[in-house]
A = this chain, B = another copy of it.
């Protein structure tokens, strides 16, 4: 890679070198013991603290460039590495280190009539290509998770964070070397040339998985050009359905939390569905609570009959991930209609029912076609840490390999291991 105009320039040969090196590193890292991997993680955390002025300086260059280029303050906020951000990166690595090593676990074993003992063993996936935008903390988080699960990782971060990412990766790779693990286990790439990125996406012999994290357009472009399996972290159009006879105190509390606690994230509620028999008792107070929190309501006809002065929801609203203090509200006739609405409009991310009826809760859990389905709890729990996975590399919205929040185990595959004593096929 060569620097050109402050960015790297890569060609096909570089793609071959990087992927070949990652593949070799992955084979070595994948069979390294837990102690060696944990030692590398310890050195990574220490290294980030020891060399923080190096990282702050690199980050200052990115932040100054971003300001010069007139980027949005919220963008600059995500780009900036403060003492607190650095501390959370270090803590994240330390937490990953404390997690159980998934590699080598026999998840199940059974004996065949011919005496063969058949087991399934967790193994690393191999080489993972992470494509993400300009949050330098992802560089440390993703690297730590990949190393712990024995995977080599190729990092393609946003170009606006290039100096920060380079500095962080420099620290992480030093730690790998000191722990006697292959330096190719964590590699950072950057290229302004889309064709080079697409060349990476053709390396299905050397890269095993692509994880794009970012906007819809990025994810669509990656899925379109990739010959490698892609785990999509797509948008979240999340619903809460308040059933007839629901506990209204729970409904108010959960619906408020699901929308207001952090509206800008994918597991926040975007559409509220209310059973017609409970709408009159539930909606006025709920909408009043939302009004006080600055939430704009876009309601269906029946919602607007119950509470005056509400914007009318358009068809497009039911498909929209606002990521903002805006909420679509629809009154439905039945549980069936609620499920039908969700399966039609949702993004298969996270949906919740508030109900006292056990049969309704079971029906909702079974029939809602989403990665995370809840009863009497906030959609905001759809998160690897909250669900007890100990970490999160993303939330998969397609069903293959992983569906929903992905932790360390989702960064592994399973192979068959078989012990015999001379068995042959007849």
Q: Are B227 and A204 in contact (CB under 8 A)?
A: no
Q: Are B382 and A416 in contact (CB under 8 A)?
A: yes
Say whether A424 faces chain B, with CB atoms less than 8 Å apart: yes
Chain B positions within 8 Å of A413 at CB level: 399-400, 403
Say whether A303 faces chain B, with CB atoms less than 8 Å apart: no
Q: Are A208 and B387 in contact (CB under 8 A)?
A: no
Q: Which of A1-59 contact B (CB under 8 A)?
A: 27, 30-31
Say whether A418 faces chain B, with CB atoms less than 8 Å apart: yes
Q: Are B375 and A419 in contact (CB under 8 A)?
A: yes
Given contacts A369-B30, A422-B247, A387 and B118 within 8 Å (CB-CB): yes
Given contacts A229-B400, A398-B208, A403-B414, A420 and B377 within 8 Å (CB-CB): yes
Q: Are B365 and A421 in contact (CB under 8 A)?
A: no
Q: Are A365 and B250 in contact (CB under 8 A)?
A: no
Q: Which of B30, B261, B381 contacts A116 (CB 8 A)?
A: B381
Given contacts A366-B104, A377-B420, A420-B374, A403 and B415 within 8 Å (CB-CB): yes
Say whether A165 faces chain B, with CB atoms less than 8 Å apart: no
Say whether A196 faces chain B, with CB atoms less than 8 Å apart: no
Q: Shortest CB–CB separation between residue A362 and chain B, in angstroms?
A: 10
User: How many copies of this chain does one complex carry?
Assistant: 2
Tell me, in angstroms, the Cα distance from A209 to B399 when the chains sit together: 9
Closest to A368 in B: B415
Chain B positions within 8 Å of A208 at CB level: 398-400
Q: Are B416 and A386 in contact (CB under 8 A)?
A: no
Say whether A278 faces chain B, with CB atoms less than 8 Å apart: no
A125, A261, A403 interface centre (most CB from chain B within 10 Å):
A403
Q: Are A125 and B400 in contact (CB under 8 A)?
A: yes
Q: Which of A388-423 contact B (CB under 8 A)?
A: 388, 398-401, 403-405, 413-423
Closest to A378 in B: B424
Q: Which of A67-92 contact B (CB under 8 A)?
A: none
Q: Shortest CB–CB separation between residue A262 and chain B, in angstroms?
A: 8
Q: Which of B398, B416, B419 contacts A371 (CB 8 A)?
A: B416
Say whether A212 faces chain B, with CB atoms less than 8 Å apart: no
Q: Which of B125, B229, B377 contacts A229 (CB 8 A)?
A: B229
Chain B positions within 8 Å of A104 at CB level: 366
Closest to A126 in B: B399
Q: Are A418 and B224 in contact (CB under 8 A)?
A: no
Tell me, in angstroms, the Cα distance from A204 to B30 when the chains sit together: 32
- Closest 6 interchain pairs by CB? A377-B420, A257-B424, A399-B413, A250-B422, A380-B425, A401-B401
| Given A27-B343, A208-B398, A387-B416: 16 more A-B contacts, CB < 8 Å | A27-B369, A116-B381, A116-B387, A126-B369, A253-B424, A254-B424, A372-B415, A372-B416, A372-B418, A373-B416, A374-B417, A374-B420, A378-B425, A381-B418, A400-B401, A404-B415
